[in-house]
Amino acid sequence: MAPLRILIADDNPVVRAGLAALLGTADDLAVVAQAADGREALSLTRRHAPDVILLDVRMPGVDGISALPHLVRLAPVLMLTYHQESQIVREALLLGAGGYLVHGEFTSDDLVRAVRDVREGRAHFTTTAASALLADLRTSSQPQRTVAQSPERLHNSVLFGLSSREVEIMDLIASGMSNQQIAAACFISEKTVKNHINRIFAKLQSTSRSEAIARWLGTARPGVTGHG
């Protein structure tokens, strides 16, 4: 079998050389290109058609997060970075990354295994990245538990005919979240959020966020054609 073709994208040439050396310990992997930023990574990916892309988060010019949604259309992407903030881990996964490794937390064997796993569609995380993601999931799930336990929200969902997902999104709207923030919190696209909001507004007979929030929180009543 031909070796898996790897592209490394990192602005630090020392890091690129180190990663290439680690990957060189495996007979079934071959580094075919190295890029210093997201723009070059996209250009080289189109030219060399790698099987897996190793991508840093922050790079000058076009950074990894900006390039990620374009790169994942061409090959599986494994984030490989010093950045371990939970929001960055979540954003990378939402944009299609197949795994997230933090420098200093993996051996050459771990890296080789991660590359193979991501190629086969199996997610791979180092400890810090997994812990950050778990903490973020627990935080983001808290409003959902509050919604489920709230008699007022249950009453409103029945009154207006909202689905459980629409209840969740309406509650996030009422908390002041933007469409982008709601998309991140619910692990859905902004387009899907907009579709949900259009249905919510129709059910609440509202034409704006403020009007929908007022009716949802009980400070306004539906019109004569409403549910009562």
pTM for the whole thing? 0.61
Q: How far, in Å, CA of 200 to CA of 205, rounded?
A: 8
- CA atoms of 119 and 210, how far apart (whole Å): 46
Stretch (H or E) spanning 42: helix 38-48
How much is the pLDDT for 8? Answer: 97
Mean pLDDT of successive 10-residue segments in the chain (228 residues)? 92 94 92 95 96 94 90 94 85 88 90 92 84 72 46 65 84 86 82 92 91 81 42
